[in-house]
Amino acid sequence: MSIGVFDSGVGGLTVLAALRQALPQADLLYLGDTARVPYGTRSAQTVAAYASDCARWLLARGCEQIVIACNTASAYGAEPVRQLAQGRPVHEVVGAGAAAAQRQGGQSGIAVLATRGTVGSGAYAVALAEALPQTPVREVACPLLVPMIEEGWYDHPAMDAAISTYLGTLSGFDYDRLILGCTHYPLIKARLQAVVGS
Ligand code: DGL
């Protein structure tokens, strides 16, 4: 089975690693569109066009399934990618994130950290309202995180300052689940946990 996986950059490697573990026999082809990263600050039309380009590239190389390993591209590009795939399975990550929060269960709200594009799309708001209609949701756009992650600034003081500022906007909101609504963010999970726990 040949599966094409794409993201704007290194973020989708977190999804690729999970796929490799779950499907050790699968033939995985990864495309990181590092020439055009970040997607999260671009218009809906641009992201949809970039996602279509990535899918075309993977389909032309014989991929039988596509994984959109990018929340922003999932929010804006899932439909055009499905059309291009012509019936081949297309998997996206926003629905998967909402389903994981539902499985986890909880007593209070859900906070979502994501790109400006993903937050602006309302994709998580819709998916979470469907999965967990009674649960309060607060989304935070974190536009500085992806560029710093692409630069490898995982342990840079600027990273901690940005994380503290973004998480600070959640003060007063009662939540017990935090969705990393961008596939780049698991790469700084330790830093996020340090700030959430402090
Ligand atoms: N990793 C991506 C996401 O999940 C894209 C981030 C970006 O390029 O801004 O949204």
Taking only the tens place, the pLDDT of each residue in 122-136 is 999 999 999 999 999
User: Is pLDDT of 52 > 70?
Assistant: yes
Instruction: Tell whether ligand 1 has an atom less than 6 A from the beta carbon of residue 182.
Output: yes
Ramachandran angles phi, psi of 13, nearest 5°: -65, -25
| Mean of per-residue pLDDT scores for the chain | 96
Query: What separation in Å is there between the alpha carbon of 97 and the centre of ligand 1?
Result: 14
Please give the number of the atom of ligand 1 that sits closest to the Cα of 40: 9
Instruction: Tell whether ligand 1 has an atom less than 6 A from the beta carbon of residue 184.
Output: yes
Strand locations in the chain (E) = 2-7, 27-32, 65-68, 90-91, 109-114, 137-141, 175-181
Q: What is the pLDDT of residue 162?
A: 97
**Averaged pLDDT for residues 65-88:** 98
Q: Which of 13, 16, 54, 70 to mutate to test the pocket of ligand 1 (most atoms within 8 A of CB)?
A: 70
User: Is pLDDT of 197 > 90?
Assistant: no
User: Is pLDDT of 109 > 90?
Assistant: yes
* 5 and 36 Cβ atoms separated by less than 8 Å: no
Could you tell me the sign of the dihedral formed by the alpha carbons of 129, 194, 69, 54, in that order?
Answer: positive
Q: Which of 5, 6, 8 to mutate to test the pocket of ligand 1 (most atoms within 8 A of CB)?
A: 8
The structure's pTM equals 0.95
Query: What separation in Å is there between the alpha carbon of 132 and the centre of ligand 1?
Result: 24
Band of the pLDDT at 95, cuts 50, 70, 90?
A: very high
Ramachandran angles phi, psi of 36, nearest 5°: -125, 10
**Averaged pLDDT for residues 146-169:** 96
Q: Which residues are catalytic?
A: 70, 182
15 vs 19: CA distance, rounded Å: 6
Q: What is the pLDDT of residue 198?
A: 62
**Averaged pLDDT for residues 135-141:** 98
Instruction: Tell whether ligand 1 has an atom less than 6 A from the beta carbon of residue 8.
Output: yes
Q: What is the pLDDT of residue 16?
A: 98
Q: What is the pLDDT of residue 1?
A: 77
Angle at 92 between CA 46 and CA 132, to 5 degrees: 110
Instruction: Tell whether ligand 1 has an atom less than 6 A from the beta carbon of residue 70.
Output: yes
What is the share, in percent, of the chain residues with pLDDT greater than 90?
Answer: 97
Token representation of residue 21: 């573990």
Token representation of residue 80: 């055009």
What is the share, in percent, of the chain residues with pLDDT greater than 70?
Answer: 99
Instruction: Tell whether ligand 1 has an atom less than 6 A from the beta carbon of residue 11.
Output: yes
User: Is pLDDT of 167 > 80?
Assistant: yes
Query: What separation in Å is there between the alpha carbon of 134 and the centre of ligand 1?
Result: 28
